[in-house]
Structure 1
Amino acid sequence: MEDPSEIIRIPTPSKFDAFPYNVPYGIQSDLMAHLFAAIESRSLAIIESPTGTGKTLSLLTSSLTWLRENKTRSKHARLADLRQKITAESDESEPQWVIEQSLSRQQKALEAEENDFERRLDEARRKEEIIRRKQKGKVVKRARVERDDLAVNEDQYLPDDDRNVPEEDDNIFLENLTPEVREQLKQLKSHSTERSRTQPEDPIYFASRTHTQLSQTITELLKITGGSDTRSVSLGSRKNTCINEDLKERGGDLDEACRELNSREKGSRCPHLPSHDEESKLFDFRDHILASPKDIEDLVEIGKELKTCPYYGSLTLPYNLLLQKSAREALGISLEDHIVIIDEAHNLIDTVLSINSHVLSSRTLQLALAQLKAYHTKFKNRLSPRNALSIKRVVMFIAALDGFCKSMASDENESGSTPRKSDGAIAAGNPESSDTTMMTVGELVSRLNTRIDGLNLLEMVQYLRDSKLARKISGYCDDMLAQASKEPGKARDHKSGAAPPLHAVEAFLLVLTSPNHQGRVFVTVEGPFRGQDADRTRNAVTLKYQLLNPEDAFRDVIEEARSVILAGGTMSPMFDIQTQLFPNLPEDRIAMFTCGHVIPSSSLQTLVITHGPRKKELKFKFDNRGNNELTEELGLILANLVVLVPHGLVIFFPSHSFLQSALKIWEERGVMTRIRSKKNVFLEPADGSSVDGVLRDYSATIATKDRESQSRSPRGAVLMAVVSGRLSEGLNFSDDLARGVVVIGLPYANLGSRELKERMNFVRRKGSTGGKDAGMELYENICMKAVNQSIGRAIRHKNDWASLILIDQRYSTSRIQNKLPNWIRSEIIVAKTWGDGIRELGAFYRRKREEGALETQ
């Protein structure tokens, strides 16, 4: 039966009144209409709109307009349904006025619920105003919000803890949370559910890659007409919302430290999580969240003022968990019939593959096994028969997996003192001393000993999830180590809050339930192991499950949500997203939209340089990167560009190794001296540790260009970066920071990588793409996505302008050009000779000077 609220179709508006400016650009109107229609028709939309075109503002305006129209439609549908129900239940002889009176009474009850909710929000807004007045005049330093770091540091596996848990209190390691906390969170969820029943709306999940981008989204939301009244919640993790300073100072895994702290009895738990009899504090905090749009930093400030935990108060989650079904189920997040908008979705395929791939080291495996055995020895007489049997099965499985790792390490030892190097080894350590074996999940399971025959892996995963065994075991072992460290002569070398080793085993166990065709297991042997083990000659083993097919992992998002919107500034090549994430979705459910830029064509130059000053053809293939003559030719090109390009010039190299080898040659042959005589030179650090400092110094140099132009100092600066490096994504090189962006060569990935080869083989097995080699298409698309992201660092608003310079003959081919965004390739210029390129570039900057966009230097 069709949903009553869907019987009446909402027409796409010809004008979006919520848009904050009088006349939107044509491409903004088109985008908003396209998105509105996609949501109404329950479609999946792929939207490419360049940075600087108001993409986020358009996405928010259109989706909120639909939300408000749908709320009105739903209200009419509920009243119609109510009238039908009252009429059906009424006696035929009952007068019409009686039916109308019953309907009016029900309608007033619904309105009273809505009014009560709005009253609470108004009260929260008044309290916020008092808080703001209190804080006026204070200097409040807002905590810097960083991206979630999901990496597991295995060197922090032994947490630090000051507690000395008496024998009679160790039952806490048999429980998940205290009864009080469990009941409190249960009531909180129940309260939330009841409230949602009285506010029947279709929530919008607006996700982006970083918390900084989400903060910018809140800024855009507040611009929209009625945006300040929108009930919104910023999604964030414990790392970004915790207000317990003592807990944060301990270091380690904050998630685990928080869970461990709140597993204690009343009086020793986190003081910011209200007790059962103070649950109104959490509900009050909830009302503050919904009173007006807030970013994560606002939530933290309100939490500190109200002394209430922002994490539990907002029930927030990290962005990447939105894409994990198991995580959504654990947190009670439902996408059913909701709208999911994923901004900056150009990396969506990589994100889906990454969060569904897992690494397990032999060291972590051995730690998990040791902790599990210690726990079982301590509590075996207090465990129920079912729990005891389940733990025994987990021990059997881990022991079998550990035995497999030892056999792989032993085989490597027997093959010689130096392990052989395989093609494209993926070891985490030194690739010159590692070997990688690839196998399917079925092949790995068959290599485990016969003791695990008959074990149901899915049941084991479910048991580990339901029992929270990993945290119980880790908590018990941490306490034992903490007690031992207080004994005389015992060193305290363990840190608090580390992720339990059994968590990594649990995640790996889950992927072993995957079908063979979905992924591959890479077994890497590194040797010899150089840890604290007594057996220093033992090789270390790393097991990595690499998901090959992102389709199944993303399917549940598409099937659950009403509409999914994938948006970004550089989504090209868009066909790649469709073929990898939803190849079987009917064409009539896919709505693609791509638009040009808001800048005039005179503000952008896309120039392909195919030959250098000495007439050498420019092809920076991997085999040519050791060609010193070609590298010197490139240096001469850049030495000319720093003269022509004013202010800031950003140059992207295909790799760090190529950048370093080129710098060495240019230093020897005097090219760098010529470049430095015109501009200050900045380099992207290889380890990313000082990127912020490099950016700060580069920006400061550009900002002081006027003073420098009066002397003989270099004018402006050049920033040498790497495609797919820290400087190629998410950064804003607007205006004078990048009057020119150069991309050298095509940054193809290493074809020797076993993982990449398997991904290519996988897409080949799935089928061809119009007669093309599907594997090579994937290979090329990965490269071009990285190029498009680098190019997108320039042209950040309607008045910006720059020249995009692509140095490689291959950019002159239609095959490569067709994978550039439309707004970049529409007027591309291919210079057949070096002289042609210089003339085109000089003419572009001359026109800018004539227009007054560039002062004479």
Structure 2
Amino acid sequence: MPVLTVNGVQVDFPFEPYACQLTYMEKVIECLQKGVNGVLESPTGTGKTLCLLCSSLAWLEGRKAQTELNRQVSLSQLMGDQSAVKAESVEKLAKSLEKSTGSTWGGTDFAVPKIIYASRTHSQLAQAVQELKRTSYRSMKVSVIGSREQLCIHEQVRKETNNTTKVHMCRAKVNSRTCFYYNHLEDVKKNGDVRQAVGSVVDIEDIMLYGEKNRVCPYYMARELKTDADIIFMPYNYLLDTKSRKAHGVELQGNIVIFDEAHNLEKICEDSASFDLKSSDLATAIEEVTRLSEKLLEYIQAEQQNVVDFSESSMPEPDFNLDDLLRLKATLKDLEEQIDFIEIPHCEKGLSKPGLFIFELFAKANIGFETKNVLIDLLDKVTNYIANDASGAGVSVTKGAGLTKFVDVLKIVFSQDVADGSSVTFLKNALSRSYKVYIKQDDSSGTKQKKLDLWTNPGKPDKSGKTLSYWCFSPGHSMSDLIGHGVKAIILTSGTLSPLDSFTAEMQIPFPVRLENPHVIEKHQVWIGILKKGPDGTVLNSNYETRFNTTYQASLGNLVVNFARVVPSGLLIFFPSYPLMEKCLEYWKETNIWGRIEQYKQLFVEPKGKTAFNEVMDGFYNKINDETLNGAIFVAVCRGKVSEGLDFSDNNGRAVIITGLPYPPFMDPKVTLKMKFLDEMKGKQNFKSLGGKEWYRQQASRAVNQAIGRVIRHKEDYGAILLCDTRFSSSDSLSQLPVWVRPHVKQHETFGNAIRDAQVFFKNAEKMMPAPKLKKRKSNTAGCTGAYFMPTLSHRGEPMNLERASTVAQHVPSLMPQRHDEEMTISSLKLHYEGFSVISTKPKSLFDALSSNEQQTSERLDESQIPSFQPGCNAELRRPVVKKKIVIKKREFDTSEMKTTVMSSTAIQSQVNNAENYIAEVKKVLSVESYKVFSKALLEYKKVEDLLKVVGVLADLFTDNPQNYHLLRKFFRYVRSHHKQQFHQMCIDLTGEGCNYKPEDAVSKKRLAEQCCKTDTDSLKKSRITSDKPQDPGTANIKNTKANEKTNVIGEQVLPVSNQFGTACGSGGQEVKQQTSSSVSLTGSRLSESQSQNSTSGKLHSGGGQSVLSDENVKNHGGHYVNVYDLQKSCQNLGETDSIVEGGGDVSVKNTQDPLAIKYPRPFSNSGYTCCLCHNEASVPFKSQCQHVCCMNCWRKVFEGDKLCPECMLGVRRRHLIRLCFDSGPGHTPT
């Protein structure tokens, strides 16, 4: 790793830095050396996090070396060794370290600061820790602060859904020493060093893994690691929220605070210091105190009567008494009444008051700085008691939620104590300066009270409640609080902080160090265009007057259609708000603009729910990674989930369309009060501040900049940015764009110029930039995930070991087909003797799981019907679902050219489409949780084939609403063949309507295909049989009426039936050309007994000649013996219009109707099998290994009994039974 000298600090950097990275590290080190605040903007993709970590930790190493030198010098002075202290090398080193660390830290100070690294989410913190592990600073000691929700492994605590309850339960178990994991951690601390056991650089996953493996508490272990950590990672709210900071023991004095991804900091600072208290919250708190008081009174009375003792009861002894609870209830009721007394004008939505009003209101309920500590302490005891009371104390439903909310309110209002020498009035003015109070009617609270009987007093008149809001409008309130706690330096950094002036003005603390870094990309990697007009010339302006105009919506939609065609891979579209997005999409669907867009790319729309969002994002990424498609479009809202934190690098996002300026809702009370507050404060403070309108514009600009940052994510990325609103062309809007964006902006007066320039840009970029690597993404199941089937074994099973000599032709040389081209290629020999290799294609999704049954047959059949190759009916195809055309070389004796086209993938694709359509219908009617149940049931049925279980699930999902009955019946298509009849009957019982079941549905398509395959093979053999004995010339001449390829349709399977040919030699040794008129497939029937009885001679009579086989019965490819005469007679029975005419030595097939039509036997009225137990007709016959047949019900009785065959009394096993699928038993009667 190269070692860089940056402002006198030796920095180990993983690679040679860019100029912008050196500048960034210089600014970070400047902040640390001088002990001042800094705001640093560096675009995404410039290695901001890596630079931040390397530079700050390099400086910290120097500071640690300085303090260690100071310690050693002081120790030498105490020992009286002045020579060591005055040594030239020591003085030189001390000056070098002082220059490195900065003079503001004091050359003789022993304190080593900690670096507190804060980001918005734990996932962002985890990424930062991973970056640290890849640097030379991985020896630094790291700690990550998390919540109990993430780190607690106690079985009883972690199952609680309410986070507040978890906190109180955990504290109670720790205090009472009843948590095994915490006790074990204490033992580990006594016997050794926790840091040594865990390691230096750890994140939450490492801590959890160690805790679960060694059965120690990860939560308190993380807090223990904090004591000796050099750098502490934590989310924003743990640092900004006074309550959280105190709970986690975060020390600020003399430390350095770094806020990464600080573009959200303003809102987080304000939200952490604000609250909304509803009347229902107070009502809940009062009811909780009431129920607890009643329960406590019962126990006191029972104890006085010696009925129960606290030590013996499940209710622990409280730290408070009944009087405390009664006083608390009186205080809560007084506050509730005071809020109810506030009158809101009828013409107004709410009433606003200055911040001081909150203290006046609370004082009327006897809540002030004098009483707040006692009240907060009592509330903490009560909430802790409720959370850990095993008996529930009558408030188990709410778990103390109302009281917890009220104590949080008090901690925000009275966030500071009165300092010595100060007055209460001064503190009130100081605290309330950044606040506004807002009271509004809250209809929802009244509804909530009506629904929950626990909180409603019968007979009390209905009245709507109120919401008391205490809103902080100054993020500087939290920033000043950090400075007041002794933070040495605060560094704010992000990829989108512009405009910096307005951002720093909001923070209300000085930032001497500032940086707006350029990007590392070149000019040809980004194209930024402002589009003022749409394709039809309509001015693009999404202001309030025009945004819902259909002309504007149509023009914007046509713009998207054009750019969907031009932009490769992923395209992002950001709307200013949800209502505008929904209106535009609705109009696009009505006018078919949606359909025109999807001709190029599929649209995905940002949902509001977290679970649904993960599913939609997975679908988007899958379409992007599908090389057969042209990418996808993601439609989202500025400030939404998509606008930050997601991966849209490379192909995921090649362009972003921003449809307007996302101003906050102007009529929102919080927005109007914020603007009013800023206007009131402007000019009254010692630093530069924003006005209301400036802040309003800044909010829109910052959201736009955040959306712009989604496209270019690293130095080899490229993309286009389209600002589709005429207002972007104003100088004010342009000045608020990031510094690296401004030089590339080009304004387009006409749409044609814009689309042309975009085409040229992408064409050049694809040539000049390296192709991105395909990203393999795992499905994000956090919080959800619909039906995603992990790869399972293929339905087609393992490759079969084919018998290499399974036909007569391979045993008897005289039966081998004559070839004039004796030379066989290596490939044909390998194919002939080794069979086909199988590529296992595993279902990757729910669609594959549904359609795999139907695909397996169609993927197996086709080559068995090629007359020049007969590997067996069960042979697997080498490459399924691929179009092939196998051309058979014409032999010299052929009269016509023979070609066979193997079935294309059209039928298979239609099956997949059917499955996709079915899944889409199911998703529309089921909730996310129900869809999970559906997916799981489908997977279980796929594995174990338990029909009753899957039907039970489907019935629960689809039979509660008659409109969903068809979804149950449609599942018939994906049921196993042997279950179809049973499923059909179940549907009749459940919905009153069946599934159009036919007997052939119960036969697997594989079995049907094998029958066709077997018959074609036998017919081919028959045509190729030649006798060694002399024959009369022409006796075996078979004429062909037409040698065309025929198609046999069985169910949904399309099977090509090829022409067959062979040769027969006459007595004179001449070859007699022969061709069959058509291939005849026997589908669904065996040879009847009457036919087999007449087939003992093994002779084929043709006129006066006789052809005698060397073996009477020809063994077909499946191993069954078939008499040739039977084949001839079977052909006679194929249809009324087909007949075999013998005479003159010619055998031909006549068809009085269509010469290409193939007739099939009509269905039989009965199976022809007689059950050997009940002696009735076996409607569902099964044959055992001993060849005896019983019906299904009788076999079931056998297996419930002695498991012996009722005919021969041999043992029978269920797995040995064979279903006789065809109605062709000895006693069958055709209808």
Whole-angstrom CA distance in 1 between matches of 2:152 and 2:363: 45
Q: CA deviation at 1:309?
A: 0.6
- The correspondence of residues 504-653 of structure 1 with structure 2, limited to 5 A, is 504-513=405-414, 515=429, 516-527=432-443, 529-530=446-447, 531-532=451-452, 533=456, 534=458, 535=460, 537-559=462-484, 560-583=486-509, 585=510, 590-653=512-575
Q: CA deviation at 1:798?
A: 0.9
Q: 1:269 aligns with which of 171, 174, 178?
A: 178
Q: 1:248 aligns with which of 158, 161, 165?
A: 158
Instruction: Describe the superposition over 1:138-173 as per-residue Cα deviations: whole angstroms up to 9, x where unpaired.
Output: xxxxxxxxxxxxxxxxxxxxxxxxxxxxxxxxxxxx
Whole-angstrom CA distance in 2 between matches of 1:464 and 1:267: 24
Give the match for residue 132 of structure 1. none
- The correspondence of residues 181-200 of structure 1 with structure 2, limited to 5 A, is none
Indicate conservation of the 8 Å contact 2:553/2:584, yes or no: yes
Whole-angstrom CA distance in 2 between matches of 1:767 and 1:248: 48
Whole-angstrom CA distance in 1 between matches of 2:664 and 2:634: 23
Indicate conservation of the 8 Å contact 1:221/1:228, yes or no: yes
Whole-angstrom CA distance in 2 between matches of 1:605 and 1:853: 17
> Secondary structure, in 3 states, of the residue corresponding to 1:592?
strand
Q: CA deviation at 1:251?
A: 2.3
Q: CA deviation at 1:76?
A: 2.1
Name the aligned partner's letter for residue 435 of structure 2: G
Whole-angstrom CA distance in 1 between matches of 2:642 and 2:579: 16
Give the match for residue 931 of structure 2. none
Q: CA deviation at 1:850?
A: 3.4
Give the match for residue 628 of structure 2. 707
- The correspondence of residues 646-665 of structure 1 with structure 2, limited to 5 A, is 646-665=568-587
Give the match for residue 39 of structure 1. 32
Q: 1:19 aligns with which of 9, 13, 16?
A: 13
Q: CA deviation at 1:642?
A: 0.5
Whole-angstrom CA distance in 1 between matches of 2:286 and 2:611: 35
Indicate conservation of the 8 Å contact 2:184/2:215, yes or no: no
Give the match for residue 177 of structure 1. none
Whole-angstrom CA distance in 1 between matches of 2:526 and 2:32: 33
Give the match for residue 47 of structure 2. 54
Name the aligned partner's letter for residue 24 of structure 1: P
How many pairs are equivalent?
696
Q: CA deviation at 1:507?
A: 2.4
Distance 1:62 1:695, change over 3 A: same
Indicate conservation of the 8 Å contact 1:761/1:775, yes or no: yes
Segment drifting more, 811-820 vs 323-332: 323-332
Q: CA deviation at 1:211?
A: 0.8
Whole-angstrom CA distance in 1 between matches of 2:189 and 2:659: 59
Q: CA deviation at 1:394?
A: 4.5
Whole-angstrom CA distance in 2 between matches of 1:547 and 1:698: 39
Whole-angstrom CA distance in 2 between matches of 1:61 and 1:696: 34
Give the match for residue 674 of structure 1. 596
Taking structure 2 as the reference length, what is the TM-score of the superposition?
0.53
Q: Does 1:356 align with 2:265?
A: no
Q: 1:205 aligns with which of 108, 112, 116?
A: 116
Segment drifting more, 831-840 vs 350-359: 831-840
Whole-angstrom CA distance in 1 between matches of 2:177 and 2:9: 57
Name the aligned partner's letter for residue 332 of structure 2: I
Distance 1:449 1:14, change over 3 A: closer
Q: 1:296 aligns with which of 189, 204, 225?
A: 204
Q: Does 1:686 align with 2:680?
A: no
Instruction: Describe the superposition over 1:274-293 as per-residue Cα deviations: whole angstroms up to 9, x where unpaired.
Output: 1697262696434334x221
- The correspondence of residues 112-511 of structure 1 with structure 2, limited to 5 A, is 201-225=112-136, 227-253=137-163, 255-264=164-173, 269-274=178-183, 278=187, 280=189, 284-289=193-198, 291-315=199-223, 318-373=235-290, 375=292, 378=296, 394-408=328-342, 422=348, 435-446=349-360, 450=364, 452=366, 455=367, 457-465=368-376, 467=377, 469-473=379-383, 475-476=385-386, 479=389, 482=392, 494=397, 498=399, 500-511=401-412
Whole-angstrom CA distance in 2 between matches of 1:483 and 1:371: 9
Distance 1:251 1:392, change over 3 A: closer
Distance 1:81 1:574, change over 3 A: same
Whole-angstrom CA distance in 2 between matches of 1:830 and 1:256: 57
Q: CA deviation at 1:615?
A: 1.8
Instruction: Describe the superposition over 1:53-106 as per-residue Cα deviations: whole angstroms up to 9, x where unpaired.
Output: 11100000000110011111222223334445555xxxxxxxxx6x679999xx
Instruction: Describe the superposition over 1:730-757 as per-residue Cα deviations: whole angstroms up to 9, x where unpaired.
Output: 1120100111111111010111111111
Whole-angstrom CA distance in 1 between matches of 2:157 and 2:643: 35
Distance 1:605 1:545, change over 3 A: same
Name the aligned partner's letter for residue 37 of structure 2: L
Distance 1:808 1:329, change over 3 A: same
Whole-angstrom CA distance in 1 between matches of 2:29 and 2:622: 43
Give the match for residue 865 of structure 2. none
Whole-angstrom CA distance in 1 between matches of 2:358 and 2:482: 30
Indicate conservation of the 8 Å contact 1:400/1:448, yes or no: no
Taking structure 1 as the reference length, what is the TM-score of the superposition?
0.75
Name the aligned partner's letter for residue 119 of structure 2: S
More helix by share: 1
Distance 1:36 1:268, change over 3 A: closer
Indicate conservation of the 8 Å contact 2:675/2:693, yes or no: yes
Name the aligned partner's letter for residue 650 of structure 2: D
Whole-angstrom CA distance in 2 between matches of 1:526 and 1:203: 46
Indicate conservation of the 8 Å contact 2:318/2:385, yes or no: no
Whole-angstrom CA distance in 2 between matches of 1:593 and 1:102: 41
Whole-angstrom CA distance in 1 between matches of 2:522 and 2:135: 26
Q: Which has the higher contact order (CA 8 A, sep 6+)?
A: 1
Distance 1:277 1:295, change over 3 A: closer
Q: CA deviation at 1:450?
A: 4.9
Indicate conservation of the 8 Å contact 2:157/2:169, yes or no: no
Instruction: Describe the superposition over 1:105-156 as per-residue Cα deviations: whole angstroms up to 9, x where unpaired.
Output: xx9xxxxxxxxxxxxxxxxxxxxxxxxxxxxxxxxxxxxxxxxxxxxxxxxx
Whole-angstrom CA distance in 2 between matches of 1:771 and 1:554: 16
- Structure 1 residue runs of 5 or longer lacking an equivalent are 1-9, 88-96, 108-197, 423-434, 486-492, 709-714
Structure of greater Rg? 2
Indicate conservation of the 8 Å contact 1:682/1:694, yes or no: yes
Q: CA deviation at 1:554?
A: 1.2
Instruction: Describe the superposition over 1:187-245 as per-residue Cα deviations: whole angstroms up to 9, x where unpaired.
Output: xxxxxxxxxxx9953211111111111111111101111x2211011121111111224
Whole-angstrom CA distance in 2 between matches of 1:754 and 1:662: 27
Q: CA deviation at 1:558?
A: 3.0
Whole-angstrom CA distance in 2 between matches of 1:655 and 1:266: 49
- Structure 2 residue runs of 5 or longer lacking an equivalent are 91-108, 227-233, 301-309, 311-316, 415-427, 773-1231
Whole-angstrom CA distance in 1 between matches of 2:716 and 2:347: 53
Whole-angstrom CA distance in 2 between matches of 1:477 and 1:209: 29
Q: Does 1:66 align with 2:59?
A: yes
- Identical aligned pairs, as a percentage? 26
Whole-angstrom CA distance in 1 between matches of 2:365 and 2:7: 65
Q: 1:814 aligns with which of 731, 739, 744?
A: 731
> Secondary structure, in 3 states, of the residue corresponding to 1:826?
helix
Q: Note the aligned Cα RMSD (angstroms).
A: 3.4
> Secondary structure, in 3 states, of the residue corresponding to 2:471?
strand
Indicate conservation of the 8 Å contact 2:605/2:634, yes or no: yes
Give the match for residue 115 of structure 1. none
